Amino acid sequence: MKEVRRFYKEVVEAVCEELELDPVTAFSTNRERCVDARGLIVCLLAKRIPDGLISALTGLTRQAVNRLKNIYPERIEHSFYLLMAFRNARNKVATHSQ
């Protein structure tokens, strides 16, 4: 479980750094940038962690996690801003994990 929490922390930090947000704000407001941050975080976590555990780590409901997981891959594809933020955050996590 320590590894999962460490991975979660790395993902949150990488996404928040890319979108210039602090983690508390990313999970506490409904501004578009914060919702985008949550979407990117969930998409990155979903590659390795099941929905129930993502829900427990983020404090979001399973339905919210599932919705973000289903909606954001398409949004990422169609938004250059989100695509660059997603790629950069993914690369930061990948290089940090090695």
* Digit-coded pLDDT (tens) for 76-92: 999 999 999 999 999 99
User: Contact 69/46 with Cβ under 8 angstroms?
Assistant: yes
* Digit-coded pLDDT (tens) for 11-51: 999 999 999 999 999 999 999 999 999 999 999 999 999 99
pTM of the model: 0.93
Alpha carbon of 71 to those of 21, 53, 88: distances in Å? 21, 19, 20
